[in-house]
A and B are shown apart, each in its own frame.
Chain A
Amino acid sequence: MLRRKALTVLAVTAAGCSRWKEEDEQLIRVGVAPYLSMSSLHLGWERGYFREAGLGVDLVASPNSTEAIPLLAGGKLDVAFFSPGPALFNAVLRGARVAVVAGRERLTPDCGTVGDIYTRREAFPNGLAGFEQLRGKKLAITHKTTVSAFFLDEILRHAGLRTTDVEVVLLRRAEALAALLGGRIDATLSDGHFDKDPARGDPRVIAVKGAIRVLPGFQYSHIMFGSALLDGDPRRGTAFLTAYHRAAEAFQNGATPKFMDDFALSNNLDPKHTREACRTTFSPDGAIDETSLQRFINWSVEKGFCPQAVDLKRLIDRRFLPAGAWAGAAPRGTL
């Protein structure tokens, strides 16, 4: 009797263990940054869209793409939501199993702050009417390889200026903000949503539309898969993107995740204002704009960050895009 009981306990434990292992293996680890632009993903997670698609999803905090790319290439993450950059291009060139599987956010004229220029009122008393006014000014970007550096080069090129015509300093966002308000720099370029920074409402700072004026419709954020999804059953990758796009669509139509309220509270923002913020930077169909990617790749090669241009065929994997997504062309009237 006792032996039978012991065997039953062992069998149940073993079954439990194997089930746990099975679920664990199925878990998709998604690298997310603590930004409002991650709201659609959080919405899908909170509403159980991934669970309904038969997927276990674990949201792993990852501060930026620089950290996410090696984790993705090393198989520690399965999905990453970030801007591509030289790290991704070089990883693909060196044979890492990483690919862009969907597009996510674009520069739009009436929504978002990515690529905007935050100027000090004192440095530009009459505002920044033309980018040529940047000549001789001290500007901050986060790093030489980020999308803000690319935007700055494009803005300067558009104004007939060169990088040497301005003084570029490398500062993290918090330091750039402090330096801007303290009068140590004249302007800073946003490479993320300035949703955490109080500078937007500060009378000493003027926010000016920057990158959107020279790169309208530029797609700056994508979804990337690592080897587990790229080499596994393609239905899992498609199921993930389908569930995500369901969430992105709901988000664009006004559905709000609890994450937004939590985010507002933890960052001293007005929850109502945060909920009402525009949501049109998202591409809910996941279309990948090759022109934007190619432009960013060419810039990375020009600047010497990549030894050669990565072939888009190696970088992009469209097998997982749900039916109905674009074939890769830029939307009409952009770029």
Chain B
Amino acid sequence: MKMSKQVALGLWLPLLTVTGWEVCSGFGILDPLFFPAPSRLAASAWRLTGTGELGRQAGATVTRMGIGFFCGAVAGLLLGALMGASRRVGRSLEPSLSALYSAPKLSLLPMVMLLAGVGESSRLLLVAAAAFVLVAFHALDGIRGVDRSWVELASHHGAGRWMILRKVFLPACMPQLFTGLRLAAGRALVVTISIELINAPDGLGSMILMSWQTFATEKLYIGVILTAALGAILHAVMRRIELKLVPWRN
């Protein structure tokens, strides 16, 4: 399917929602105090972009999320690979990792703050933790899912350890790993926004909270829409990278 067709197919629902919203606002069905018309939101967003505030807040969120995600993903990848390579390590760490996976990360904030301080480091640590667990699990599952007969076949044909890792394990693991990375990126964004809603001097979450605190409804919606758009863009970018690096998946 052509790119333009794909985009059009993905946009019909948001466009329909926005149109319905605008019409309902125009006819006074929706209270503009709580549901300002999309055209008003667009005007406010334009103004906020002009003052640089929108870019500053979105930039803070993307930076926070990006650093946390990168650190968490690298650590998760290494641990997942280690757990997959050694059955003993895998068995000894899997229960702890499962516990960390189901633990609500934000409930750890007071403890993390005591360990890492009340500044940026504690926020990054929580974002990294959210990405870390998902990537580690998917890396582990990817390695475990490699068909042993492929390894034996490669070995039979004289492939060394490095060759087996490069030519068998990596290609076989990549689809699973990318699913993990994509999910982890989404989770990292959610945790970033959640932390910003609680404790951050800047970022989209902080902007949403501030708008709520000051009854600035337009700004609130702009923050929420921008966050959703960021999530969609992130997903699309990860898909593009995946298609480029793991074409055999599809």
Is A86 touching B213 in the complex (CB atoms < 8 A)?
yes
Contacts of A306 in B (CB 8 A): 214
> B38 to chain A: closest CB distance in Å?
18
In whole angstroms, how far apart are the Cα atoms of A85 and B118 in the complex? 26
In whole angstroms, how far apart are the Cα atoms of A88 and B212 in the complex? 11
Is A86 touching B113 in the complex (CB atoms < 8 A)?
no
Contacts of A69 in B (CB 8 A): 215
In whole angstroms, how far apart are the Cα atoms of A185 and B118 in the complex? 8
Is A87 touching B201 in the complex (CB atoms < 8 A)?
no
Q: Is A95 an interface residue (CB 8 A)?
A: yes
A 85-96 binary contact with B (CB < 8 Å = 1; else 0): 111101100111
Is A305 touching B31 in the complex (CB atoms < 8 A)?
no
Is B215 touching A143 in the complex (CB atoms < 8 A)?
no
Q: Is B59 an interface residue (CB 8 A)?
A: no
Question: Which residues of A in the span 167-203 have a Cβ within 8 Å of any Cβ on B?
Answer: 169-172, 174-175, 178-179, 182, 184-185
Is A144 touching B210 in the complex (CB atoms < 8 A)?
yes
User: Which residue in chain A gives the minimum CB-CB distance to B122?
Assistant: A184
Q: Interface of chain B, helix or strand or loop or mixed? A: loop
Contacts A94-B33, A170-B200 given; does A179 touch B214 at CB 8 Å: no
Is A96 touching B199 in the complex (CB atoms < 8 A)?
no
Partner pick for B215 among A90, A146, A175, CB 8 A cutoff: A90
Is B118 touching A171 in the complex (CB atoms < 8 A)?
yes
Is B113 touching A179 in the complex (CB atoms < 8 A)?
yes
Partner pick for B213 among A85, A95, A96, A169, CB 8 A cutoff: A85
Contacts A70-B34, A170-B200, A184-B113 given; does A179 touch B213 at CB 8 Å: no
Q: Is A256 an interface residue (CB 8 A)?
A: no
In whole angstroms, how far apart are the Cα atoms of A70 and B221 in the complex? 14
Contacts A170-B200, A175-B109 given; does A305 touch B114 at CB 8 Å: no
Contacts of A169 in B (CB 8 A): 118-119, 199
User: Which residue in chain B gives the minimum CB-CB distance to A98?
Assistant: B215
Partner pick for A145 among B34, B118, B200, B213, CB 8 A cutoff: B213
A 136-163 binary contact with B (CB < 8 Å = 1; else 0): 0010100111100000000000000000
Contacts A87-B214, A91-B215, A305-B214 given; does A184 touch B118 at CB 8 Å: yes
Q: Is A315 an interface residue (CB 8 A)?
A: no
Interface bin, chain B? 20 to 34
Contacts A95-B33, A178-B113 given; does A87 touch B213 at CB 8 Å: yes
Q: Count chain B CB atoms within 10 A of each CB in A138, A146, A179 and give the residue with the most.
A: A179
In whole angstroms, how far apart are the Cα atoms of A73 and B209 in the complex? 18
Q: Is A66 an interface residue (CB 8 A)?
A: yes
Q: Is B89 an interface residue (CB 8 A)?
A: no
> A320 to chain B: closest CB distance in Å?
23
Q: Is A34 an interface residue (CB 8 A)?
A: no
Q: Is B104 an interface residue (CB 8 A)?
A: no
Contacts A74-B31, A95-B33 given; does A178 touch B114 at CB 8 Å: yes
Q: Is B110 an interface residue (CB 8 A)?
A: yes
In whole angstroms, how far apart are the Cα atoms of A74 and B33 in the complex? 9
> A95 to chain B: closest CB distance in Å?
7
In whole angstroms, how far apart are the Cα atoms of A306 and B212 in the complex? 13
Contacts A170-B199, A170-B200, A172-B199 given; does A94 touch B118 at CB 8 Å: no
Is A184 touching B214 in the complex (CB atoms < 8 A)?
no
Q: A94-B33, A143-B213, A169-B119 are in contact. List 16 more A-B contacts (CB 8 A).
A: A74-B34, A85-B213, A87-B213, A138-B118, A140-B118, A170-B199, A170-B201, A175-B113, A175-B198, A178-B110, A178-B111, A178-B113, A182-B113, A184-B118, A305-B213, A305-B214
A interface list, Cβ under 8 A from B: 66, 69-70, 73-74, 85-88, 90-91, 94-96, 138, 140, 143-146, 169-172, 174-175, 178-179, 182, 184-185, 305-306
Closest 7 CB pairs of A and B: A178-B110, A90-B215, A182-B114, A145-B213, A87-B215, A86-B214, A91-B215
B interface list, Cβ under 8 A from A: 31, 33-34, 109-111, 113-114, 117-119, 198-201, 209-210, 212-216
